[in-house]
Amino acid sequence: MRNASELSGILTRIDGAGYKAYKDIHGSWSLPPFTLFIDHVQGDPYAAPSRMRLRLDAADAAFPPGTTGTRMRTIACEDFVARVARAEASRHSRPIGTGGGGRIHVDAGGQEILHRTAARVTGEYAELRLSVGLPAQGRRVMGRAAAGILLESVPAAGEVSLFHDSLPLSGLADHIDAAEDHERLAALLPGMGLVAFVADGSLLPRESGISDVPLPDDRAVRFRSPDALRLEVELPHRGPVSGMGVREGVTLIAGGGFHGKSTLLEALSLGIYPHVPGDGRELVASRPDTVKVCAEDGRRVENVNISAFISNLPGGIDTTRFSTENASGSTSQASYIIESVEMGAGAFLIDEDISATNFLIRDARMQRLIAKEKEPITPYIDMVRPLYENHGISTVLVLGGAGDYFDVADTVIAMSDFLPVDVTTRAHEIASEIPTPRLDEGEPLRLDIEGRRPDPRSLDPGKGGKPVIKCRGLTSIQLGRTDIDLWALMQLNDRSQTRAICGYLRLLPRELSSSPGLRDAIEAISGQVEQGGLDALSQYPGEHPGDIAYVRGFEVAGAVNRLRSLGVLDK
């Protein structure tokens, strides 16, 4: 293997040469104690940055078994290593010359602890994956600056992160403990008949609508469970923890405006992920098959059987195979629900703020005015119980404006000054004091959802041009000539997850040609990821991606379902 002085020799030689001369540094370099693999050299200073790995032998890295003994520990440990490396890389990162020159980046996470590709700690090595903008003056190589980056800055990121003993060790331990406690908490939910758990003392509100960091403690009311819903769990690190159990069945979260209803639901929706210490939601856990759904008018829908919710559309449109280029609020929300059932959802989270009113409720007076035959929608209020009783699918619903739901709710929680109060008994009393004059419009619900089989050709990114599947941001993917809008996937919370979806979209056409349906195809790819790691989703065959994070099948299906070109094959 070539060494540091050979690398610096090349960089001196190509200094001032055309940018393409950088190709000479492709390959592996011994920079003791590290090995630097330069896997991809960008073609010009404006192109996507060059990709490299910095590796250290396990013997030198010396991560003790406590840090990597289980899958979750490894995930948390790698997540932590990436964060430490990112901080150091950004200290060394500064714009040099043209384009993206001088930028050094490690793709670490936000408030969630996620399985990601940015760092690896294995029995053989510890490794960082970095992206580096090789510097240029105009389009001429800046050899000396590049030498500084490759021989000093990149190894510096490794020095602080790849040796176990150079990491902030109590931070690492807390990180792993938080992930492990969350994992245990989530594992305890089914046995306790819970959809979710929120520990006492949790801090749920965020700093702002566009920020994920906690609201400062002096402005936040910490969570306190109501007596009637308080449970205690035993966690491996925190020990005994008390909090509110959200039971399976139907839970209504009522309460006045601005009292913290949506904030609680949001915390439940992200409770599928572990959170970093200090986030405030470390001990909020939800079932992994929890899906937050909303109305999304204008979206496309392809061949979804929404007949349980919607039938007799004007013009005789068939809602057992409902397709539209432009869904309404109610049809989009019904489609979101059915598509999620198709993927195996076990609980729905629904917020009035982002729902279609006519999807949630139709009151007695409206029933009187508009006959059932003239209303295609069977509102959720009439479906929520059969969904649970016949299909085991629970619902947590935020609704401040319709007491008709008292009849169908197992539990009613009122948020009052940001604190939950159990008002179930009172709500049920009221329901019998003031019986609802509305009629139940639900038919006995049988959701025989047949898995759809998308046409692999309809996912072809090359149709009519260059094959492109590209992450354009957290909520946008370009596929060929169309953009997929993902804003409604509210549990997608990291751009690296969106890149993971791109990986799935690349693999799906082939998988679909041998799978009976969408869910099987997605699960088959998830199986490969489980086996071979997230690198299996790389867009560079045989190369590490470095910027991908775990994503659920629900979000992958969410992207497929929103693809404007999606076609479904007849069974």
Binding residues for Mg ion, rule: CB under 5 A, are: 261-262, 353
The residues near 288 (Cβ < 8 Å, ≥ 6 apart) are 186, 272, 552
In angstroms, what is the minimal distance from the CB of 224 to ligand ADP? Answer: 10
Which C-beta is closer to ligand ADP: that of 40 or that of 259?
259
Residue from 135, 260, 456, 480 touching ligand ADP (CB under 6 A): that is: 260
Using CB distances below 5 to 8 A depending on partner kind, what does residue 356 bind out of ligand ADP, Mg ion, none? none
CB 394, min distance to ligand ADP, A: 20
State which amino acid sits at residue 473: G
Give CA torsion, residues 473, 479, 480, 483, to 10 deg: -60
Task: Tell me which of ligand ADP, Mg ion, none is bound by residue 205, counting a contact when its beta carbon lies within the kind-specific cut-off of 5 to 8 angstroms.
Answer: ligand ADP
Q: Which of 48, 169, 187, 221 binds ligand ADP (CB under 6 A)?
A: 221
* Cβ-based nearer residue to ligand ADP, 322 or 418: 418
> Which of Mg ion, ligand ADP, none does residue 204 bind (CB under 5 to 8 Å by kind)?
ligand ADP
CB of 265 to ligand ADP, least distance (A): 8
User: Which residue of 124, 211, 258, 426 would you call a contact of ligand ADP, by CB under 6 A?
Assistant: 258
CB of 427 to ligand ADP, least distance (A): 17
How far is 93 from 115, CA to CA, in rounded Å?
25
- Report the partner that residue 182 touches, choosing among ligand ADP, Mg ion, none (CB closer than 5 to 8 A by kind): none
CA dihedral in degrees (558, 559, 562, 563; nearest 10)? -150
Tokens 């917020």: give the residue.
Answer: 351
Spatial contact of 272 and 113, defined as CB atoms under 8 Å apart: no
Q: Is 565 in the site for ligand ADP (CB under 6 A)?
A: no
Q: What is the dihedral of CA 265, 271, 277, 283, to 10 degrees?
A: 90
The runs of H, that is alpha helices, within 189-326 are 261-270
Tokens for 145, please give them. Answer: 């600056």
DSSP helix/strand/coil, 35:
strand
225 binds ligand ADP (CB under 6 A): no
Smallest gap from residue 117 Cβ to Mg ion (A): 36
Could you tell me the smallest distance in angstroms from the CB atom of residue 294 to Mg ion? Answer: 12
Q: Where in 158-217 is the site for ligand ADP (CB under 6 A)?
A: 204-205, 215
Select the residue interacting with ligand ADP from 74, 153, 161, 263 (CB under 6 A). Answer: 263
Residue 263 interacts, among Mg ion, ligand ADP, none and using kind-specific CB cut-offs from 5 to 8 Å, with: ligand ADP
How far, in Å, are 73, 250, 518, 526, 532 from residue 537 at the CA level? 22, 37, 17, 10, 10
Tell me the window of 102-110, 259-267, 377-385, 551-559 that interacts with ligand ADP (CB under 6 A): 259-267
Sign (positive or negative) of CA dihedral 314, 320, 326, 328: positive
Neighbours of 156 (CB within 10 A): 16
With CB under 6 A as the contact rule, the residue among 239, 257, 435, 473 that binds ligand ADP is 257
Token pair listed for 331: 């049809």
Q: Sheet harboring 419-422: ordered strands across? A: 290-293, 347-351, 394-398, 250-255, 411-416, 419-422
506 touching ligand ADP, by CB under 6 A: no
- Please tell me the distance from the alpha carbon of residue 468 to that of residue 522, in angstroms, as a whole number: 20
Considering the complex, state which of residue 76 and residue 204 has its C-beta at the smaller distance from ligand ADP: 204
Q: Which is nearer to ligand ADP, 10 or 415 (CB)?
A: 415
Cβ closest to ligand ADP, residue 67 vs residue 395: 395
Which residues of this chain interact with ligand ADP, rule CB under 6 A?
204-205, 215, 220-221, 255, 257-263, 415, 418
